[in-house]
Amino acid sequence: MSETVVRPAKLSDLPPITGIYNHYIVHTPITFDLEPVTAESRIGWFREHSEGARNRLFVAERAGAIVGYAGTGRFRDRRAYDTTVETTIYCAPGSTGLGIGVELYEALFAALAGEDINRIVAGITLPNDASVALHRRFGFTPVGTFTANGRKFGRYWDVLWMERPLALPARGRRSRAKKV
Ligand SMILES: CC(C)(COP(=O)(O)OP(=O)(O)OC[C@H]1O[C@@H](n2cnc3c(N)ncnc32)[C@H](O)[C@@H]1OP(=O)(O)O)[C@@H](O)C(=O)NCCC(=O)NCCS
> How many angstroms separate the alpha carbon of residue 126 from the centre of ligand 1?
13
CA of 44 to the centre of ligand 1 (A): 27
pLDDT digits (tens, 9 = 90+) for 12-55: 999 999 999 999 999 999 999 999 999 999 999 999 999 989 99
Tell whether ligand 1 has an atom less than 6 A from the beta carbon of residue 98. yes
Q: Which of 108, 115, 116 is nearest to 139 (CA)?
A: 108
pLDDT band, very low/low/confident/very high, at 180 (cuts 50, 70, 90): very low
pLDDT band at 176 (very low <50, low <70, confident <90, very high): low
In sequence order, which residues have a C-beta less than 8 Å from that of residue 33 and are 6 or more positions away? Answer: 21, 25
Q: Is 159 in the pocket of ligand 1 (CB under 6 A)?
A: no
> Would the CB of 90 count as within 6 Å of ligand 1?
yes
Counting every residue written for the chain, the total comes to 180
Predicted local distance difference test score (pLDDT) of residue 174 = 58
Q: Give nearest CA residue, ligand 1 atom 44.
A: 131
Ligand 1 in contact with 130 (CB < 6 A)? yes
Q: Which CATH number fits domain 4-165: 3.40.630.30, 3.60.20.10, 2.20.25.90, 3.40.50.880?
A: 3.40.630.30
pLDDT tens per residue, range 125-143: 999 999 999 999 999 999 9
pLDDT at position 2, please?
72
- Is the Cα torsion angle 89, 95, 98, 103 positive or negative in sign? negative
Distance 111 CA to ligand 1 centre (A): 21
Atom of ligand 1 nearest to the CA of 103: 12
- Positive or negative, the CA dihedral 47, 53, 57, 59 is positive
Residues 6 or more apart from 144 whose CB is under 8 A from it?
A: 160, 161
112 and 145 Cβ atoms separated by less than 8 Å: no
